[in-house]
């Protein structure tokens, strides 16, 4: 009778206090750790169906696409479970991205305000993301509308009219982080600085940071009132906060660059690893779109190319007692997102709907090329580019100025053309849009010859990151700074000429077409801030499309050439 009563009391106690049951279960288990997996991407930029070439084992394979990415992530998670099962352990997986999920996107995503991309990643069960510089492309109000679906954007309403289209934003447990982006007035972070996720009782902390380069790579008005704090100091601050909460498995999700140099990892992420608390175990990076996988100062650093070309598969063990990663257990692979698997049907349907909606606009032809070769390339920062010439020629001629400049980083891809049924190489509206997707406002500004020269010299103010502009209406020579007295940088401008050969006067006044990014000092071109706005003009995206249409109406094919608009000469 006593045994019966005792049994009833124990059952009653466990039913009232369910938390005791897992503790008893944990006490009985022999395992002291769990297997833990982090699947990550970075710099996706709305490339829902972009296909790229990838060199793998000496062969070129096709990679990319959200639907294929979803399948690969599912397969990686299943593989982790099988591995853990063999070891007699439980496994847990989390998916995260290291910034620039949206922004500078192709039309399939951009025309719908990147909603299809956010929908796809939410559906793929991503639970942590960090702000990159491109999340600021349309300002904070639009970013928050995009994430939390607080309203319907007029562009989306217009394009989706007549379609069964619904957008709900991200789930409540999909945490967007930005520890070092704070409001200047309040000093408080714009988004949560960190997130704590629980896995079988183990707490894992995620700290999000964005590159301080956002200050110069983003339109000034979109980050007005914000301060970008030092990444390392910020990580150390919140590492202490997490430690006080009993968190010792700490992951930094940072939109900060890393690179490989002579077999070593270098760049901002490597510098961060050397400065932050040793309780930080992993640093996921982004921003410069490369492949990085290795340790710096005991911290694992991983970056996974761009556009969904690859994903990071990081695996380790979490110690149930120490609440930290088991020493030496962390390993990573950067895995290509190959198209030799069956695409996930649910994600594929999201992409298909976005394509059907946007194809109404993007497929219409606006011009023709001489052959099927891609014109120009993405981000031609090393000098003159034929596509840069085409873009700036259009801006100068359409806006009616003497000169035009554009930032090379605003050229997001080469200009494609496609063979049509008539045997012509056709440029579509979408092809042109993809080249200049930012929709930066153009304006005609008044600048002196001296101010223009100062701006040109600013191309080389940072020897580690030269940023050549693309130009029209001007030809200039520049010289090796080491051979010129008074030139304190790698190159300096020597002479400047207008396109008709007239030498420019430093005291002369000239009209210059600039986009709003450059005019407000973007990419470090502070000299342009001295310009006086004379006449606002259209957005750069629309201007580029209109210029191609105009050339086509004149019976011309699109065939820009290199013209030595910027020439290195002897002093």
For every residue of 450-509, DSSP letters joined together read HHHHHHHHGGGSSTTS--PEEEESEEEEEEEGGGSTT--SSEEEEEEEETTSPBPPTT-E
User: How does 351-367 read in b/e, with b if 16+ C-beta sit within 10 Å?
Assistant: bebbeebbeeebeebbb
Residue-level pLDDT at 542 = 97
Q: What are phi and psi of 168, to 5 degrees?
A: -120, 0
Residue-level pLDDT at 20 = 36
**pLDDT value at 119 more than 50:** yes
CA atoms within 13 A of residue 449's CA, in its CB half-sphere: 16
Of 510, 535, 530, nearest to 520 by C-alpha is: 530
Residue-level pLDDT at 1 = 41
3-state DSSP call for residue 366?
strand
Residue 361 confidence class, pLDDT cut points 50, 70, 90: very high
Residue-level pLDDT at 8 = 39
* Ranges in the chain annotated CATH 3.90.780.10: 365-568
**pLDDT value at 549 more than 80:** yes
Residue-level pLDDT at 31 = 75
Alpha-carbon gap, residue 563 to 508, rounded angstroms = 24
Of 210, 277, 275, nearest to 241 by C-alpha is: 277
Alpha-carbon gap, residue 548 to 557, rounded angstroms = 9
**pLDDT value at 2 more than 60:** no
Of 194, 208, 199, nearest to 243 by C-alpha is: 194
**pLDDT value at 28 more than 60:** no
Alpha-carbon gap, residue 235 to 194, rounded angstroms = 10
Contacts of 276 (CB under 8 A, 6+ apart): 232, 235, 236, 239, 252, 299
Alpha-carbon gap, residue 276 to 274, rounded angstroms = 6
Q: Look-up: residue for tokens 């396109």?
A: 499
How many C-beta neighbours within 10 Å does residue 334 have?
Answer: 19
Percent pLDDT > 70 in the chain is 95
Q: Using one digit for the tens of pLDDT, what is the confidence trace for 139-192?
A: 999 999 999 999 999 999 999 999 999 999 999 999 999 999 999 999 999 999
3-state DSSP call for residue 3?
helix
Alpha-carbon gap, residue 102 to 437, rounded angstroms = 12
Q: Using one digit for the tens of pLDDT, what is the confidence trace for 427-476?
A: 999 999 999 999 999 999 999 999 999 999 999 999 888 899 999 999 99
- Which CATH homologous superfamily contains domain 33-350? Metallo-dependent phosphatases (3.60.21.10)
Q: What is the pTM of this model?
A: 0.90
Q: Taking all residues of the chain, what is their mean pLDDT, rounded to a whole number?
A: 94
Beta strands at 469-472 and 532-539: parallel, antiparallel or unpaired = unpaired
**Residue 347 CB-density burial (10 A; 0-12 exposed, 13-18 middle, 19+ buried):** buried
Contacts of 214 (CB under 8 A, 6+ apart): 132, 133, 136, 181, 223, 228
* Ranges in the chain annotated CATH 3.60.21.10: 33-350
Residue-level pLDDT at 26 = 41
Residue-level pLDDT at 295 = 98
Contacts of 198 (CB under 8 A, 6+ apart): 204
Residue-level pLDDT at 30 = 60
Provide CATH code, domain 365-568. Answer: 3.90.780.10
Residue-level pLDDT at 16 = 38
**pLDDT value at 561 more than 50:** yes
Residue-level pLDDT at 167 = 98
Task: Give me the mean pLDDT over the 95-104 stretch.
Answer: 98
Q: Using one digit for the tens of pLDDT, what is the confidence trace for 210-258?
A: 999 999 999 999 999 999 999 999 999 999 999 999 999 999 999 999 9
443 neighbors 514 (Cβ within 8 angstroms): yes
**Consecutive H or E run containing 537:** strand 532-539
Q: Using one digit for the tens of pLDDT, what is the confidence trace for 285-307?
A: 999 999 999 999 999 999 999 99
**pLDDT value at 5 more than 80:** no
Residue 363 confidence class, pLDDT cut points 50, 70, 90: very high
Task: Give me the mean pLDDT over the 314-342 stretch.
Answer: 98
70 neighbors 402 (Cβ within 8 angstroms): no
Residue-level pLDDT at 165 = 97
Residue 484 confidence class, pLDDT cut points 50, 70, 90: confident
Of 232, 230, 283, nearest to 258 by C-alpha is: 283
């Amino acid at each position: 009778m006593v045994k019966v009563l005792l049994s009833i009391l124990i059952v009653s106690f466990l039913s009232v206090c369910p938390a005791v049951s897992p503790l008893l279960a944990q006490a009985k288990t022999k395992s002291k750790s769990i297997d833990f997996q982090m699947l990550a991407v970075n710099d996706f930029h709305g490339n829902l169906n972009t296909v790229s070439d990838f060199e793998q084992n000496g062969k070129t394979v096709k990679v990319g696409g959200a639907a294929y990415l979803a399948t690969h992530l599912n397969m990686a998670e299943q593989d982790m479970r099988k591995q853990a099962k063999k070891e007699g352990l439980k496994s847990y997986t989390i998916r995260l991205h290291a910034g620039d999920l949206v922004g500078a996107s192709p039309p399939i995503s951009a025309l719908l305000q990147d909603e299809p991309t956010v929908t796809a990643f939410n559906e793929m069960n991503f639970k942590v993301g960090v702000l990159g510089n491109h999340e600021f492309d349309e300002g904070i109000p639009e970013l928050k509308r995009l994430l939390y679906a607080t309203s319907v954007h007029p562009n989306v309403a217009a394009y989706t009219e007549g379609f069964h289209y619904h957008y709900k934003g991200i789930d409540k447990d999909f945490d967007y982080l930005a520890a070092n982006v704070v409001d200047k007035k309040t000093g408080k972070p714009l988004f949560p600085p960190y997130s704590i996720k629980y896995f079988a009782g183990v707490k894992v902390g995620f700290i999000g940071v964005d590159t301080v380069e956002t200050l110069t790579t983003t339109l000034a008005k979109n980050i007005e009132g914000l301060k970008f704090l030092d990444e390392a100091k910020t990580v150390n601050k919140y590492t202490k906060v997490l430690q006080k909460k009993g968190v010792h498995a700490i992951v930094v999700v940072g939109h900060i660059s890393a690179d490989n140099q002579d077999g070593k990892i270098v760049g901002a992420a490597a510098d961060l690893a050397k400065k932050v608390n040793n309780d930080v175990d992993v640093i996921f990076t982004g921003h410069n779109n490369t492949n990085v996988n290795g340790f710096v100062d005991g911290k694992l650093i991983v970056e996974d190319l761009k556009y969904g070309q690859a994903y990071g598969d990081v695996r380790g063990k979490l110690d149930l007692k120490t609440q930290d990663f088991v020493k030496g257990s962390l390993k990573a692979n950067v895995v290509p997102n190959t198209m030799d698997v069956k695409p996930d049907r649910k994600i594929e349907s999201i992409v298909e709907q976005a394509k059907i909606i946007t194809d109404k606009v993007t497929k219409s032809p606006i011009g023709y090329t001489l052959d099927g070769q891609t014109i120009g390339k993405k981000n031609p920062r090393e000098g003159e580019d034929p596509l840069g010439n085409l873009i700036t020629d259009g801006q100068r001629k359409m806006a009616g100025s003497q000169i035009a400049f554009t930032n090379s980083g605003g050229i997001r891809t080469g200009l494609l053309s496609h063979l049509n049924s008539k045997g012509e190489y056709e440029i579509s509206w979408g092809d042109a849009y993809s080249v200049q997707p930012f929709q930066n406002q153009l304006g005609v500004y008044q600048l002196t010859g001296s101010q223009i020269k100062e701006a040109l010299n600013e191309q080389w103010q940072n020897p580690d990151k030269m940023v050549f502009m693309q130009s029209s209406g001007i030809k200039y020579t520049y010289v090796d700074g080491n051979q010129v007295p008074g030139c304190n940088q790698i190159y300096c401008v020597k002479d400047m000429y207008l396109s008709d050969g007239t030498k420019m006067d430093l005291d002369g006044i000239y009209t210059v077409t600039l986009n709003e990014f450059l005019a407000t000092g973007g990419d470090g071109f502070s000299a342009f801030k001295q310009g006086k706005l004379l006449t606002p003009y259209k957005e750069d995206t629309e201007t580029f499309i209109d210029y191609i249409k105009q050339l086509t109406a004149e019976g011309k094919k699109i065939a820009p050439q290199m013209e030595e608009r910027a020439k290195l000469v002897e002093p």
